[in-house]
Structure 1
Amino acid sequence: MVAGQSRNFTIDVLRGISISVVLILHFHLSYSLIESPLGVVLPADAISAVARNGNYGVTMFFVISGFLITSTTIRRYGSLATVDVPGFYAFRFARIVPCLLLALVLIAGLGALGQPAFVNAAKPGWPEVSMPVAVLSVLTFWHNILMQYAWYFNYAMNVYWSLSVEEMFYLVFPIICIAIRRTGIIVIIWVAAIAYGPVYRYYHSDNEIYFMYAYQACFDAIAFGCCAALVARKISLKGMVGGVVRIAAAILVGATYLAGIRGHEVFGFTLVAAGTAILLVGADGERVPALLQRNRALAGLRWLGQRSYELYLFHIIVLGLMRSIWPRGTLAYGDKAPAFAAFVGLSALAAWAVSRFYAEPLNAGLRAAFLRTRELSARQAG
C-alpha cells in the first residue's frame, strides 16, 4: 500500500486466508491431520481437501502481489509508463531482503548444526547442492529452477521457491513498463502470460516441480492481479450486482480449492487466480460494514494477513524445529491438535516479533535513506 494509506480490509483477509491454508498444508505434510482427532468429526476426504491444497493459497498471494504492485505504481507515479525504476527496486529491496536474509541465516546456521530439516540432503538419484549455492539461488531468483535440477533437497529452504517467482516478477515489471510505455501493449503481455500458464501446466502436469513452481506456471496468476488493478480503475463491483459477482467469485475459489489440485493441474490455478482477481476488483475502494470489521474471526485473519510475509518466511523454521523434536509422522494422535495450536501460535509470535522489531524499522529506515540520498544527489546536481 502507498505510505500513509490505510490498509484494505478485504486484501488483508484474503492474505490471512492464503497464509492459513499454507500453514495447514505444511503441518499436515509433517503430521497428518487425517490421523488426528479431526478424523472423529470429519471424513478423511474432507480433511484432505482442506489440508492438501495449500498451494492454491500461494496462487492467491501471486494475484494479490500483481494487484498491489500495479495499483501502487499507478498511485505513486501516475502511470505505469512513468514508474521510477530505481525507486521501485529500492522499496522492494527494503521490504523483502532484510527479512529474507534473517531467515536464510537461521536456516544455514541450523543446517550447520546438523538439524535435519535445515540441511541439504540429496534424494536418491538427484545431485547434491551446497548451502552457498542454495542460498544464492534464493537471493538471485532461481531457487525454483534449482529445485528442477535437484528436487526437494532442503525441507525449510525449498518453501522459498515462490519468492523466486515474485522476485523475478518484481525485476521485470518496471523494465517492461518503462520500455514499452503503452498500457495497452503491457496488458497484451499480461494476457499472453494468462493464456500461456495453462498450456505450460498441461505439458508438465506429471511433474509438480514444474506445473506448480516454474515461472511459466505462476506468472499467469500475477498477471491476473495486474489486470485486476487496471479493471478496478474502470469498474466498480458495488451494489447488488457487484455483490452477486463477488459471491460467485468466492464460491468459485472455494469450490476449486476443495476440488483439489490433483486432476486439476492445468486449470485449477487459473480458476483460483480468476476468482481472486474478481474479489480484488470488488475490494478496491470498498467501505466495509462495521459489523464485519468487529468480527473476531475476520480480525484474526486480518492480523495474519498483515504479517503474512513474515509468517511465510518463519513458520517453516518453527515447523522445522518441531520436526527435530518429533520427526515427520511420529507425533502421537492426541498430541496433534495442541501441536498444531502451538505451531500456529509460535509462528505468529515469531512473525510479530520480526515485523515489529526488525522488518518494519529496517524497511522504514532503508526507504528513508534512499530518499535522503536521492534528495542529496538532486541538490548536488542542481
Structure 2
Amino acid sequence: MLGTQRNPHVDLLRGAAIASVLLLHFALAFGVKESPLGTLFGPAFVNAVALNGNYGVTVFFVISGWLITTNSLARWGSLAHIDVRAFYAARARRILPPLLLALAIIVPLGCAGVPFFDNSDADPALPASFFVPAVGSVLTFWHNVLMQSTGYFNYCLNVYWSLSVEEMFYLALPLAALLLRRTWLLVLLGVALIVAGPLYRAEHADNELFYMYGYLACFDAIALGCLAALLAHRLHAPLPYARLLRWIAGAALVALYLRGIRGHEVFGFTWIAVSAAVLLVTTQRSAGPSVAAGRVLAPLRWLGRHSYELYLFHIVVLALLRNLFDKPALSYAARLPLLALFLAASALLSWGVQRMLERPVRNTGRSGLPGPA
C-alpha cells in the first residue's frame, strides 16, 4: 500500500509550478523583460519563462489528482471504499480556514474601494454588492463559470478560478467512486475526461476564459494525475529505466513550457499534463539517492510545501504593491528588487498563515490527506 510520506519530487514539482504562477502574475503587474533579467537572458526567453504560468496551474491539477488518489488508496485501500464524510471533512479543514482569511482581507478592502481589491476590472466596474455572488461562487465551486459569463472583474478574486476546478473534483471524486464501484469504470471515466479536454479547448480556442478556465478544459489534467496514481499503486517494484524516463519527462516539461501556450491552446495543456504524470509515476518507487532531495533545491521544495497559502495570499501582496508602485514609473533597476520584495512578503505571509491557522486546524483531524496544489 502506498504511504503518505512526503515525496521530495512532488514538493519540487509543486514548487516549480507555484513559482511559475507567482512570476506570471508579477510580470503581468510590473513586467520583467524590462529588467536586468531581460538584458541578461533576452526578452524573448524571459517572456517565455514568465508568461506561461498557466501551464503551472495544469501541473497543479495533475498533482492534485495524483495526491488525492494516492492518499485515498493508502487510507481506504480502494477508491470505492472512500469514507465520504471523512473525505469532505478533511478537505474542508484544509481548504476553508486560509481561504476564509483571504476573503476576509479582500472583500472589506474591495468594499472600501481600494484599487485592485474592488470590482473595477470589469467594464463598466461592478458595484460592491457583486461581492455577494463572487464570494458565493468561490465557496460553492463555480467561480470559473461566473468569470466565463462576466469576464475579468476582480483582480484578487479572479485568480481563485482554479480552486473552483479543484473543489469540483474533490466534490465529485468520492461520489463517482461510490457510484461506479469498479476501478475499470473509474479508468474509463478518466479516459473520457482526457479525450474531452482537447475537444472542449478546440471548441473555445479563441477565448481563454473557456480554454483555460472551464471545467472540461482542466479535468483532463486531474484525470491524468488520478490514472497515474492508480498505475503507481499497482507497481510492486521500481520502473525499469525510471531515472531515464524521469529525465526525459522533465526535459519535455521544460521544452513544452518554453514553447508556450499561444498556438498550442488545444493540446499544449495535454502534453504538459502527460509529462507531469510521467514524472510522478517514475518518482513514486524510485530507488537510490535523489537530486530532488538535495540542499540546492530546498527553496523550491519549501515553495511546494506552502503552495496553497502562496496561491491564496500572493495576490493580496501583489495588489498592495500595485497600490504603492506604478508600473510606468518603475525604473529598470527597481524591478528585480520589487520582485524580491514580492516573493519575500508572499512567502512570509504564507508561512505565517500555515503555521498559525492552517496547521492547527488541520491537526484537529487526522485525515492523512494532502491539501490542494
Q: Same fold (TM over 0.5)?
A: yes
Structure 1 residue 114, shift from structure 2 partner: 2.0
Give the drift of 1:121.
1.9
Match of 1:40? 39
CA distance in 2, matches of 1:247, 1:236: 21
Equivalent residue runs for 1:226-245 within 5 Å = 226-235=226-235, 238=238, 241-245=241-245
C-alpha distance after superposition, 1:175-194 (max 9, x if no partner): 00011101101110000000
Tell me how far 1:241 sits from its aligned partner: 1.7
Distance 2:288 2:356 in 1: 30
Report the more deviating stretch, 15-24 or 122-131: 122-131
- Matches of 1:310 and 1:285 in 2, distance apart? 28
Deviation for aligned residue 1:294: 3.2
Identity %: 50
Structure 1 residues 138 and 96: alpha-carbon distance in aligned structure 2, compared to 1, 3 A threshold: same
Q: Which residue of structure 2 aligns with residue 118 of structure 1?
A: 117
Q: Which one is further off, 146-155 or 113-122?
A: 113-122
Taking structure 1 as reference, are residues 219 and 112 closer, same or farther at Cα in structure 2, changes over 3 Å only?
A: same
Q: Mean alpha-carbon deviation: is it higher for 196-205 or for 33-42?
A: 33-42
CA distance in structure 1 between the partners assigned to 2:38 and 2:350 by the alignment = 30
The one-letter code matched in structure 2 to 1:332 is S
Alpha-carbon contact 2:4-2:71 (below 8 Å) kept: no
1:84-131 CA-to-partner distances (Å, cap 9, x unmatched) read 001100000000011110001111022123221110125336876701
Q: Which ranges in structure 1 are unaligned for 5 or more consecutive residues?
A: 370-382
Q: Is the 8 A contact 1:122 1:150 kept in 2?
A: no
Letter of the 1:49 counterpart = A
- Structure 2 residue aligned with 1:266: 266
User: Conserved in 1, the CA contact under 8 Å of 2:119 and 2:126?
Assistant: no
In the other structure, the counterpart of 2:171 is 171
Distance 1:163 1:329 in 2: 32
Aligned pair count reads 365
> Could you tell me which residue of structure 2 aligns to residue 256 of structure 1?
256
Q: How does 1:353-368 map to 2 (within 5 A)?
A: 353-365=352-364, 367=365
Match of residue 320 from structure 2: 321
Q: Is the 8 A contact 2:211 2:265 kept in 1?
A: yes
Written as runs of structure 1 = structure 2, the 5 A alignment for 1:132-281 is 132-235=132-235, 238=238, 241-281=241-281
- Confirm or deny: 8 A CA contact 1:197 1:216 kept in the other structure: yes
The separation in 1 between residues aligned to 2:183 and 2:192, in whole angstroms, is: 14
Higher RCO (C-alpha 8 Å, min separation 6): 2
Aligned to 2:300: 301
| In structure 2, C-alpha distance between the alignment counterparts of 1:160 and 1:220, rounded to whole Å | 19
Conserved 8 A contact 2:36-2:332: yes
TM-score, structure 2 length as denominator? 0.94
Tell me how far apart the structure 2 counterparts of residues 257 and 159 of structure 1 sit (CA, whole Å). Answer: 20
Partner residue in 1 for 2:30: 31
> 8 Å contact 2:119–2:125 — kept in the other structure?
no
Q: Is the 8 A contact 2:9 2:292 kept in 1?
A: no
TM normalised by structure 1 equals 0.92
CA contact (8 A) 1:32 1:329 kept: no
In the TM superposition, residue 238 of structure 1 has moved relative to its aligned partner by: 3.9
Label 1:201 to 1:82 Cα distance change in 2 as closer, same or farther (>3 A): same
**1:240 positional shift:** 6.3
What is the match of residue 97 of structure 1? 96
Which range is displaced more, 90-99 or 39-48? 39-48
Distance 1:102 1:220, change over 3 A: same
Aligned to 1:380: none
State the SS of the aligned residue for 2:241. Answer: helix
Secondary structure of 2:258 counterpart? helix
- Quick check: 1:190–1:223 contact (8 Å CA) kept in 2? yes
Secondary structure at 1:116's aligned position in 2?
coil
Question: Residues of 2 paired with 1:19 and 1:258: CA distance?
Answer: 16
Report the aligned-residue RMSD.
1.9
Amino acid at match of 2:94: R
Please give the alpha-carbon distance, in whole angstroms, between the structure 2 residues aligned to 1:217 and 1:254: 21
**Change in 2 beyond 3 A, CA 1:53/1:291:** closer
Letter of the structure 2 residue corresponding to residue 266 of structure 1: V
Alignment of 1:348 onto 2:371:
no
Shift in Å, 1:330: 3.6
**Mapped contact 1:126–1:151 kept (Cα < 8 A):** no
Distance in 2, matches of 1:212 and 1:87, equals 31
Bigger mean CA deviation after superposition, 90-99 or 232-241: 232-241
Tell me the secondary structure at the aligned position of residue 130 of structure 1: helix
User: Structure 2 CA distance, aligned partners of 1:55 and 1:85?
Assistant: 31
Contact preservation (8 Å) 1:196, 1:220: yes
User: Which sits farther off after the overlay, 329-338 or 139-148?
Assistant: 329-338
Counterparts of 2:328 and 2:245 in 1: how far apart (Å)?
A: 43
Instruction: Give the residue type in structure 2 aligned to 1:295.
Output: R
Q: For residue 7 of structure 1, what is the amino acid of its counterpart?
A: R
Deviations 1:182-237 (A, max 9, x none): 11011100000001100100010000000000001000000000000011123478
Structure 2 CA distance for partners of 1:309 and 1:287, relative to 1, 3 Å? farther
Q: Is residue 120–residue 126 contact of structure 2 (8 Å, CA) maintained in 1?
A: no
Q: Distance in 2 between matches of 1:188 and 1:42?
A: 45
Structure 2 unaligned spans of 5+? 368-373
SS in 1 for 2:116: helix
